[in-house]
Structure 1
């Protein structure tokens, strides 16, 4: 708290000249109806009237805890500044722990009482901070309140940990696709699966959020349904429950029906949270409050790893709910999200054009006679490879799409996809699970101080490299699932034409390599010979 000079604002000469501030706070006001605040305000105003003090300001912090020192209390902070500037000489609050639960903050007010004669009055009696007895009372009360908060937090944490260890659904806001008890909500579960499938085949998080919001364009992922925002759905469900509960309650005990948020667009951050949630893979989760920041390499992007609860053997604890996403595909999504190139936001899954990062540059180095081969980028309606080629993307894409559709109309591909290596996929998943088990055991041994940090690092490097190689192979095999939705269709050509951008890109990548050659100067008509299609042998 600011320390103003002790002589800048002299104390009043008469007790009736006291200017007083009222501070009101409740830690939790689930109804947000202000009734608790109003009761406290009335009691504090009555004290001010009895003492004939002048109320100059009322400061209110609603549904804000004073226990967590990291929590911002705007009105409290404003009151501190106003007192430092001499706006009042006394404070009235409902109880001392309404003002603060932080011993450090209490000491600031004690110092203010000693140096400037601050008067502090509570509805349950005057806390005279100018006397040693009053200060002792305040400190004891603050210590007791702090201890009770810590005991309550410990009980809650123990209960949460116990639920997680038993694989029971955690309390709190339900995730999309599940009820609060862990039962599956069919239409929401279908949306969750569609979100994972769209991201796995290359759709961006932003485009998935747009699809959930009902937006439609060429990049909209196929299969992702439009849904009301989840916070709106949960708010409507809560109000429906309260209407039912209120029917059996007297008027004075009925719960308030809250306002429902407008059905706005889905934010990409919500989609990312769905993709990151281990519960969808069936993992039980619990994150201790005292988890060291360095437990997961200090990366906030990967903090979800630490929330997967492990048993004594170092294996993930499975929940008592139905997993919506198989473990293998879920981990593939995590690896894709963790890709350093994607994290830079310079490259990755957010593609708006058919050939961005897919078509190759065919410029020939005159000295080495080697082809560039780098993926092209898009800029201002053109495909570019710096210093090599600049091509208008519309005629190039039109030519490529026409060639792919013609290819798809010429032959049957289902026999090729029938050779899908299902046994290999199963073997890869089993092997990856073995490597993850070794990682978990190594972490468990490190936490139990059985191995050193260098041993953990060595094991992590070895196992994560093996997992990455297997995951890349599995991703290539699983990519055929999206390709198969086109190639196995009754009319593959039309299925390709109607597919979303990510699926069309995967079909192109599976069928051919597209190379853009430098365009002859001065030629206006599109020259098909400047786009080379190297078809795969199928």
Structure 2
């Protein structure tokens, strides 16, 4: 018969308790960490300890880099300073298993440094009390880490192989349903499939993807998870291999080993493969689904190209939408069709506003050196260097940014003079602001 031993509280070793679960996707009630903490209390009692504080991280992985674990961070901090918030001394930690505490070498290093920052600490688990200062205690911690890392790799490989096998048989992707298909991921969604097909045709014909996204927004179209359409999501939808019936896995188009032909999915295609290849050819490689989709390798080391024109990034579209509001989309530089306008600024959101590039740059320069009262005017030295040609484009853009926030471009009117500088106006960002950055007052 077991006898219940009552100990003097002053003889019990004060320890902190930690619990963690990787997932809590079903019940979402934290029962996993709650059970672990209860077991920790039993273990502590059996080993002559008392839990003075408990920390937990519910539904947080310890093997993935970058995952925040507030409970673990607080545990490490309290161990390092030697006491909890109330001032109670801490002489050890209790946990049901080492892999609840750490699965990465960085976390093991942090934990051991904090635990052994003061002498006489203990590490308690279901096997008993461990000495974290001894060589055996350190080796046991390292062995636990190796087991956790190996288990993580095996599990990751098993999941990866499972997804590959499904993909090789043409089984649809798991997760949320793709735009354009029903919940079974096989049958076409009548309305969405037509939108995708039309978008592919429009893009091949030269329509800007931002304009396609704007059209979808005007129609009230949302994604399968309720989000509004934008250029990136539309690009991924229309360049995904699934639109023509092909199957991809982790950023690669799957091929049949014997024939080298793409694996066909079990779902209904929206367009034929030739149309998919044609629409993909209208984008740069970094924008394609196979580089931006789930599990795809990211393109690294690519530097953003520096703006080649003065007004790039400063102009906003002044065309009216169907509801009467202004578009305010960014005007981007594109190749023009005349010697007088070798480049133009056009709105990629609505496609209903464009302006000659040289005209816009000249109008922006006039605004920068405007004599309007209250506008922040550059010093005379900068003005002289600008007009003498000594100032480069990058420096000119910095001067513009120091004076003007953004400018609205009103759509042109047929029959009006082609060089109408008044089309470009400072864009108000806040009430009673004219789009200028105001200078400090210089006098009464």
- In which range does the TM-score fall when normalised by the shorter chain? 0.5 to 0.7
Q: Unaligned stretches of 5+ in structure 1?
A: 1-13, 217-224, 233-263, 288-305, 363-370, 401-515, 521-538
- The equivalent of 1:101 in structure 2 is 103
Q: Is the 8 A contact 1:113 1:130 kept in 2?
A: no
Give unpaired runs (5+ residues) of structure 2.
1-9, 84-89, 288-303, 320-330, 348-352, 364-407, 422-444
Evaluate the alpha carbon distance shift between residue 30 and residue 394 of structure 1 in structure 2; reply closer, same or farther with a 3 A threshold. Answer: closer
For residue 281 of structure 1, what is the aligned residue in structure 2?
A: 244
Shift of 1:186: 2.7
Aligned to 1:309: 254
TM-score when normalising by structure 2:
0.58
3-state secondary structure, aligned to 1:60: strand
Which whole-Å CA distance do the structure 2 matches of 1:281 and 1:92 have between them?
A: 55
Q: 1:360 touches 1:373 (CA, 8 Å); kept in 2?
A: yes
Aligned to 1:375: 343
Give the corresponding residue for 1:442. Answer: none
Question: 1:101 & 1:356 partners in 2: Cα distance?
Answer: 47
What's the secondary structure of 2:343's corresponding residue? Answer: coil
State which of 257, 264, 268 in structure 2 corresponds to 1:318.
264
Partner secondary structure for residue 66 of structure 1: coil
Q: Go from structure 1 to structure 2 and tell me whether the alpha carbon gap of 1:394 and 1:43 turns closer, same or farther (over 3 Å shift).
A: closer
After superposition, give the CA deviation of every residue in 1:423-444 in whole Å (9 maximum; x if it has no partner): xxxxxxxxxxxxxxxxxxxxxx
Q: Per-residue deviation at 1:358? A: 8.1
User: Does the 8 Å CA contact 1:309/1:316 hold for their aligned counterparts?
Assistant: yes
The 1:210/1:80 distance shift into structure 2, 3 A limit, reads farther
Alignment of 1:452-491 (within 5 A): none
Task: Give the corresponding residue for 2:50.
Answer: 53
State the alpha-carbon separation in 2 of the partners of residues 394 and 150 from structure 1.
58
Distance 1:118 1:77 in 2: 18
**Would the alpha carbon gap of residues 191 and 21 (structure 1) be closer, same or farther in structure 2, given more than 3 Å must change?**
farther
Q: Cα distance, 1:23 vs. partner?
A: 1.9
Alpha-carbon separation, structure 1, partners of 2:143 and 2:286: 52
Alpha-carbon distance in structure 1 between the residues aligned to 2:62 and 2:335: 57
> Hey, what's the Cα distance between the residues in 2 that align with 1:159 and 1:276?
25
Instruction: Tell me, in whole angstroms, the C-alpha distance in 2 between the residues paired with 1:373 and 1:73.
Output: 56
Superposed CA RMSD in Å reads 4.4
CA positional deviation for 1:16: 3.3
Instruction: Please give the alpha-carbon distance, in whole angstroms, between the structure 1 residues aligned to 2:236 and 2:76.
Output: 38
Task: Give the paired residue count.
Answer: 321
Counterparts of 1:47 and 1:191, CA distance in 2 = 60
By relative contact order (CA 8 Å, sep 6+), the higher-ranking structure is: 1
TM-score by length of 1: 0.49
Alpha-carbon deviations, 1:265-299, whole Å to 9, x = none?
Answer: 44554334323422223221112xxxxxxxxxxxx
- The match for 1:149 among 137, 144, 152 is 152
Counterpart in the other structure of 2:60: 64
Match of 2:282, SS state, is: helix
Q: Does 1:386 align with 2:383?
A: no
Following TM superposition, by how much is the alpha carbon of 1:107 offset from its aligned partner in structure 2, in angstroms? Answer: 5.0
The alpha-carbon deviation at position 98 of structure 1 amounts to: 0.9
| C-alpha distance 15-280 of structure 1, shift in aligned 2 (>3 A) | farther
Match of 1:335 in 2: 281
Please list the CA deviations of residues 22-48 of structure 1 after superposition, one character each: whole Å capped at 9, or x if unmatched.
Answer: 222111111222121222222234445
Map 1:177-326 → 2, pairs under 5 A: 177-178=180-181, 179-201=183-205, 204-213=208-217, 216=218, 225-232=219-226, 265-266=228-229, 268-287=231-250, 306-312=251-257, 314-326=260-272
Greater helix share, structure number: 1
C-alpha separation in 2, matches of 1:83 and 1:110? 10
Residues 389-430 of structure 1 deviation map (CA, whole Å, 9 limit, x = unaligned): 87x986844459xxxxxxxxxxxxxxxxxxxxxxxxxxxxxx
In the aligned structure 2, how far is the partner of 1:46 from the partner of 1:315?
60
| 1:44-74 alpha-carbon deviations (Å, 9 max, x no partner) | 3444566453524x33222222223443334
